[in-house]
Amino acid sequence: MADVPPDDFTEAQLDECEAVLQYRFRDRVLLRRALTHSSVSRTRLDSNERLEFLGDAILGTIVCEALFEQYPESPEGELTRIKSVVVSRATCARLTRRLGLQAFLRLGKGVAHRDRVPGSILAAVFEAVVGAMHLDGGLQVTKEFVLRAIGDEMNRAAESATGVNYKSLLQQLSQKAYGETPVYSVLDEKGPDHSKCFKVSAMIGARVFEAAWGPSKKTAEQRAANNALFQIEGKEPPEPVD
């Protein structure tokens, strides 16, 4: 990727970027700044760093509200787990690549090597674009863009963040740390026979972890296992295991 002088954005390039975003900026200075890395800006205030700061907060708010509405039966721990995956640097970088925003970036020498841009920079660009869009058009248009871009990521994370088998991970951790095999208990179920939801908790010895709901026992067990991992990895003091 060639280095680009600080002000070398053509109107055609901005038009193309706006087409990708499905949003036309009223103030294109915001869009230019969102696409400008500090390595090529005159000062850090001319780069996308402040917009990244704002966009990170806006993105989190939009995702939290969407998760709260879409998963009314999920407890706070499960929603936190999903959000952490959806707004992660890895996800934001992946969205930048998917949208093709890297083609519009302004980068200084040494930042991009053989057309490969570091994931941290790609993630920052997505957050900066969110911040710029919020300042330019308000929360509603930003929400529409974010949910359009990130909807599949939320659904995927709700089922299994990064596709990991959480039951297997919990079993490995439990056997190594406690010499115990986790067991799962169905605490509740709702709905007609053809469309039941199940509430399941994971247990290691005498310790009962936060329960999780799922459209099947298998899914609920995976989510319950992840809740247990979340609590354990959150460095909560382990309770005695009988």
Estimate to the nearest angstrom the gap between the alpha carbon of 187 and the chain centroid: 30
Task: Identify which has the larger pLDDT, 5 or 167.
Answer: 167
Can you tell me the mean pLDDT for 114-125?
80
Burial of 234 (0-12, 13-18, 19+ CB in 10 A): exposed
Is residue 3 included in any domain, yes or no?
no
Same domain membership, residue 156 and residue 168: no
Domain boundary among 162, 182, 197: 162
Is residue 45 included in any domain, yes or no?
yes
The pLDDT-based confidence of 115 (bands split at 50, 70, 90) is low
Q: Between the ranges 21-35, 81-95, 166-180, 217-231, where is the mean pLDDT highest? A: 21-35
Burial of 62 (0-12, 13-18, 19+ CB in 10 A): buried
**Residue-number span of the structural domain to which 154 is assigned:** 11-162
Q: Between the ranges 200-204, 208-212, 216-220, where is the mean pLDDT highest? A: 200-204
Model confidence at 95: pLDDT above 70 = yes
pLDDT of residue 160: 57
- Which of 43-57, 151-165, 208-222 has the weakest average pLDDT? 151-165
Model confidence at 62: pLDDT above 90 = yes
What mean pLDDT, rounded, does the chain reach?
84
Judge whether 127 is annotated as a binding position. Answer: yes
Is residue 32 included in any domain, yes or no?
yes
Model confidence at 232: pLDDT above 90 = no
- In angstroms, the CA 225 to CA 200 distance is 9
The single residue listed with the structure tokens 């680009």 is 4
Same domain membership, residue 201 and residue 116: no
Provide the CATH number for the domain around residue 115. Answer: 1.10.1520.10
Judge whether 49 is annotated as a binding position. Answer: no
Is residue 242 included in any domain, yes or no?
no
Active site residue ranges? 56, 127
Is residue 225 included in any domain, yes or no?
yes
Same domain membership, residue 201 and residue 94: no
